[in-house]
Structure 1
Amino acid sequence: MFARLAVPLMLFAGGGILTAVGAQAQVSTSLELGGSRLAVSPQEMKALSALGGLVRGGQRAAQDKALAEARRVANSRDARYALALYELEIGNRRGDDAMRAEALDVLIASQTTRPEKLPGHLAARGQIAFRAGDFDTADRVWSRLLELTPSDPDALANLAQVRLARKDAPGAMDLLTRAIAAREALGQPVSAIWYRQRLSIAQQGNLVEPGVAAARALVGAYPTPENWRAALSIYRQLVAPDAAFEIDISRLMRHVGVLVQGAEYQRMAQLLTQAGEASEAKSVLDEGTSRGLLDPRTSPTREIIAEVDRAIVKRRNGSRAAPPDPKGTQVRSGIARLVAGQRTEAEVLFRAAAADPANGRYADLAFFWLASLAQGQPATVR
């Protein structure tokens, strides 16, 4: 994916304006094209004028013949510049990237190109190179574009795609993060695609801290079920949780309704049982069964149910649950208040956990809980 930058088409009237230049009227003529006055020889002028008259037409054979003649005689710097302008428009009309690329290379290198035209030429040349898999050229061209337009969100995002294609995940992450910030600074909406790709880059590069930020940003801006699942699944993968923290992530995933695989219900039930939370494990299994994701008659669900039932009996007979992780106390207390219908009290606990850096990963988890509550999610964790 790369951002679509506006690349204006060059529309020219046929030919040019032929005028004498001083005493050298027989040696050079003046061609006005693209806002520039160009000095060309009479032979170059004749060929370029013939080509200009065919640019807008659909006579491809005639165009090709005129192109061949203009390329044969265009030897001066100004003539080559004029020819490149015509080739660019013809290439645009034909969708001929090879012709466009050659023309853009001339225009980008030419000192005659007007400064306001250069960013558009660089943008178009980078797109052609990227589509062709020529990442070296795309990187070089779009890096130059970024030098000219350092706060352009699309320029930043396009270059991020090149860095990602070249397996530079940290570089791609930095550029795409800057692109999002630049668009926000302009008061423009940021595409959900950018948020999702930022998260994907973190996953590919195993970038933990940027990945956490990307997950938080995605569900904050676009809280769809698909985005919640992507954010929490990749977050879980990046932080490599221990059993206790994995349970708490699974609780949140269940709360927002994005446990969608039978294996996830099975694993959550097993982890809860091992942690001494067999009653909650039974609730999880019942939910998975009611959703048609689990079949209690088949393995391994049948065996997990039996394990949970045994644990419930032991608990009734006086066995104690394993002590919970003290780092998650505020978050778990918030969950308990939420289940009890005490939403305000739950939010207070989640906010306290989210604001305390000492809570580490649980500060992130508290943020996710707050985001889910802001979106009106009901309490379904037990």
Structure 2
Amino acid sequence: MKFRLHHVALATLVALGLTSLGAHAQSATPAAPAAASAPTNTLRDVVRVPLAEAQKLFEANNHAAAREKLQTVQALADKTAYESYVTARIALSVALAQDDGPGAAQLADSIFQLNATGNWLKPQETVSLMHAVGIAHYRAKDYGGAARWLDRTAEAGSIEASVRDARISSHLLAGNVQRGTELLAQSIDAAEKAGQTPEQKQLQLLYQARNQLKDAAGATQAIESLVRYYPSKEHWRQVLNRLWARADLPNRLQLDVFRLALYTQALDEATDFSEYVDFAQRAGFMVEALKVFDQGAAMGLIGTTDAHKKLRAKLAQDVEADRKSFKADLASAQKKPDGFALFNLGLNLVANQQFELGLDLLEKAITKGIAKNPIDAKLRLAAAYAQAGQSDKALQALSAVSGSEGIDELARYWKWALRKP
């Protein structure tokens, strides 16, 4: 089975996760101080009048004219520290409105230096200014500059989600995928430790970023988290595809992956069903093969070619043969010291939705003992309980399932699949 991965480009996911950045930029832009007065500082008319005019032009969205008016004030050589501070604040508002990241950065640094002499800025205003400058860089697609300023914003104490998201995205879009991945992991870990559900967009970004870094273990962990918190057909397909691709997954467990995929409704391609049918048929589970074939045909994915029609007739013939020989096969299996044959008869009955008798045979087979791969049998008993709608018994059975080569993953995934919504 070759599950298809529907990868979305990392840059696209980042953009989709930040559709409200424009709003963030607007809300993050600190208002310029009124040019008319200050509690303990004053503006001379030579400064106050052009600044007031510049501010009116800015409020009328005439940013170019406001910038030109400000240049007359900026050219004055004898401004006081406070006059320079107010001028820089209004100039910063204009630069931010024009998405002039470099200009905004220069003005913000000037404001911070001037503030050291007068302490006019409140701590939260400093954070807001840094955030606004970072967003200006982001909107101008200067992601490296955005990352630097948003790092400063976080280091200054901001815990706002908008800062966090823009900071992560800036690092990713600037090409610093490693740092962006670290920040994503930190954010997700913090949410989990606080007993909160991590955001889906963050988990998706983490999965894509770790894929880009070729971190297979990290990507698997991320897609597993998506299945845990946001189970969907696509997420199940991706996590099962990764399990399917494991080099150490033995042939004997491949059919078990198909069964879980069917249970989670992760099968939706013709090859999914045709390969499942092939595995079940070769393993001797004819009823299961026929049921899966008919389900794929009902979805319009298989069953229309002459080869498929012949296969369907052969499966029906084999199922009928198994039905006729069932009593003799059961008697023979019951006489054997090992429970393997009895167990397989039970699986066939479960596939045919004869749950009461099928589960009884499975339980008796395990009690009798299965010498080869007994943990596999416990896993399949749990899956049979799940198919019969007996989730509590399935979870209880899964608690005794542990092993390598994909057994641990199958047991864990079945537990997630059995969770009540």
Alignment match, 1:96: 98
Distance 2:255 2:404 in 1: 17
CA contact (8 A) 1:211 1:235 kept: no
Asked if the contact 1:153/1:182 (under 8 Å) is kept, the reply is: no
1:67 to 41, 65, 70: 70
Contact kept? 2:260, 2:414, Cα under 8 Å: yes
Please list, as runs of the form range in 1=range in 2, the aligned pairs for 1:71-82 lying within 5 A after superposition: 71-73=74-76, 79-82=83-86
2:129 partner letter: H
Once the two structures are superposed, the pairs formed by residues 121-132 of structure 1 within 5 Å of their partners are 121-132=129-140
Is 2:293 the counterpart of 1:289?
no
**Runs of 5+ unmatched residues, structure 2:** 1-13, 116-120, 330-340, 345-370
Once the two structures are TM-superposed, the CA of residue 234 in structure 1 deviates from its matched residue by: 5.1
Shift in alpha-carbon separation, 1:14–1:118, aligned structure 2, 3 A: closer
Q: Amino acid of the residue matched to residue 352 of structure 1?
A: A
- How far did 1:289 drift? 0.4
Please give the alpha-carbon distance, in whole angstroms, between the structure 2 residues aligned to 1:168 and 1:251.
Answer: 40
* Counterpart mapping for 1:89-168 below 5 A: 89-91=93-95, 95-98=97-100, 101-108=102-109, 110-111=112-113, 112=115, 114-149=122-157, 154-166=162-174
Q: Residue 204 of structure 2 contacts residue 226 of structure 2 at CA under 8 Å; is this kept in 1?
A: yes
Rounded Cα–Cα distance in structure 1 between residues aligned with 2:133 and 2:141: 12
What is the letter of the counterpart of residue 96 of structure 1?
Answer: Q
Shift of 1:348: 0.8
Greater relative contact order structure (CA < 8 Å, 6+ sep) = 2
State whether residues 296 and 302 of structure 1, in contact with CA within 8 Å, keep that contact through their aligned partners in structure 2: yes
Task: Tell me the amino acid that sits aligned with residue 16 of structure 1.
Answer: A
Q: Which residue of 2 aligns with 1:336?
A: 384
CA distance in 1, matches of 2:78, 2:252: 75
1:46 Cα deviation after fit: 4.3
Which residue pairs with 1:217 in the alignment?
Answer: 225
Is the CA contact 1:152–1:179 (under 8 Å) kept in the aligned structure 2?
A: no
Q: Percent identity?
A: 19
Contact 2:138 2:170 in 1 (8 A): yes
The alpha carbon displacement at 1:188 in A equals 5.8
Once residues 327 and 101 of structure 1 are traced to their aligned partners in structure 2, the CA distance between those partners, rounded to angstroms, is 63
Residue of structure 1 in register with 2:411 after alignment: 366
Q: CA deviation at 1:102?
A: 1.6
Give the superposition deviation at 1:259.
0.9
Give the TM-score, by structure 1 length: 0.73
User: Does 2:185 correspond to 1:177?
Assistant: yes
> TM-score of the superposition, structure 2-length normalised?
0.67
Unmatched 5+ stretches in structure 1 = 18-31, 377-382
**Segment of structure 1 superposing worse, 221-230 or 283-292:** 221-230
1:280-319 alignment runs, 5 A limit: 280-297=288-305, 301=308
Structure 2: how far apart are the matches of 1:314 and 1:202?
51
Following the alignment from structure 1 to structure 2, what is the Cα–Cα distance between the partners of residues 238 and 143? 38
Please give the alpha-carbon distance, in whole angstroms, between the structure 2 residues aligned to 1:244 and 1:154: 48
Shift of 1:338: 2.7
**Structure 2 partner of 1:346:** 394
Task: State the one-letter code of the partner of 1:203.
Answer: N
Report matched runs for 1:261-276 at 5 Å.
Answer: 261-276=269-284
Do 2:249 and 2:405's aligned partners in 1 also have CA atoms closer than 8 Å? no
SS at match of 2:300: coil
Distance 1:82 1:185, change over 3 A: farther
Q: 1:203 to 1:132 in 2, by over 3 A?
A: same
State the number of aligned residues: 350
Which residue number in structure 2 is paired with residue 256 of structure 1? Answer: 264
CA 1:13–1:177: 2 relative to 1, 3 Å: closer
Asked if 1:193 is matched to 2:181, the reply is no
Letter in 2 for 1:210: G
Shift of 1:258: 2.1
Say whether the 8 Å CA contact 1:10–1:89 is kept in structure 2.
Answer: yes
Q: 1:66: how far off? A: 1.6
Deviation sequence 1:45-92 (CA, Å, 0-9, x none): 443243234332355575354234234447866555433321333455
Task: Give the superposition deviation at 1:288.
Answer: 0.5
Alpha carbons 2:277, 2:292 under 8 Å: kept: yes
Q: Which of 36, 56, 59 lines up with 2:59 in the alignment?
A: 56
Task: Using the TM superposition, name which of 250-259 and 51-60 deviates more.
Answer: 51-60
1:147 CA displacement: 2.5
Residue 10 of structure 1 aligns to a residue in which SS? coil
Distance 2:372 2:305 in 1: 32
Give the distance between the partners of 2:99 and 2:57, measured in 1 at CA: 19
Give, in whole Å, the separation in 2 of the partners of 1:234 and 1:159.
Answer: 30
The structural deviation recorded for 1:285 is 1.6
In structure 2, C-alpha distance between the alignment counterparts of 1:133 and 1:62, rounded to whole Å: 25
Give me the whole-angstrom Cα distance separating, in 1, the residues matched to 2:210 and 2:136. 27
Amino acid at match of 1:70: V
1:84 aligns with 2:85: no
2:364 equivalent in structure 1: none
